[in-house]
Structure 1
């Protein structure tokens, strides 16, 4: 793949413009995928204001608020990379509570967060109504290849060396899961937009 260096504000503007071109009678579901070391949540946050300036209501959701309860998530221990890869994300809940309601014949009623994994308890938040033409921006890791419905998928990619360098020591047990993701899902091919983020202040679009 060729890399096109791009200023971050230009990148955010291009992504927002691409989303804003979607028909206004339809909801738009956007995924910003990447290992935590790539800070996908920051890019997802940065999209909110430009989209609203373009007249699009926006709801921010984190896949990290749709993890399974600890009794299921940690059944094989706290540092099992295969369990992290296969069992942590509650895919059915994310689909049911966030993505399906924004399908063509959906209700528009979205649950912004389901499970607080820090205290292992449900958030109990009310549903939010997203009007037609609204955008939900979901950040998370290992989102692609799950059969989740998104109109636009963005993958924040790190080289193996950068990923290892920028992953905190307490999370390095996850590295085999990211290697498996690269091998099985091939996010550089699966995503609509791929951003190389080895240097956070110097992103590049992979073409």
Structure 2
């Protein structure tokens, strides 16, 4: 950090977060310590504890910033007429973000107690909305919840595996194969109305149920319960 940071009026919190992110990018998790962060951000040790509680709190805050940056890459996507292709684009952005920010992605992927950062919650909602569009098109063969969980688990696992590979041995086709395997598992080539099957039909109806006006609230709740039972993984 140089004098320009202070001239720009950056707060101690902003300097600490920026310094931690930079240390992560340059040297990985091992490069981040109270001493190195304080030196880079030009603050005293008590400042970190006052603002973040401890180093765990600091890393959680950095992860939250990472989720925000990741979400910004998603919100720039313009939906197309093909929701499955949009899911492919979202998967590729996810993997690309992880490979471009490996140390940050590892911190973001760590299990942590307590409430998830709002940006992480918003990211999950973005994925759920993408899955919902596929269901509304009649092309989802499993429940929306199961589809979202599978995409999230496979996408994260694929990204972590690629990060763990040495750069000269990294296999870019691994992501493509994993992506297509997931898409094959959760989608159909044609709308459910063109291919028989109660689960696909129930998923499609479940997705558009909130748009109906012919049913009372009680009737909608009952129909939703029936559809959920049809699309349940236990079926």
In terms of fraction of residues, the more strand-rich structure is 1
Q: Which has the higher helix share?
A: 2
TM-score, normalised to structure 1, is 0.26
Q: Which has the larger radius of gyration?
A: 2
Q: Which structure exhibits the higher relative contact order, with contacts defined as CA atoms closer than 8 Å and separated by 6 or more residues? A: 1
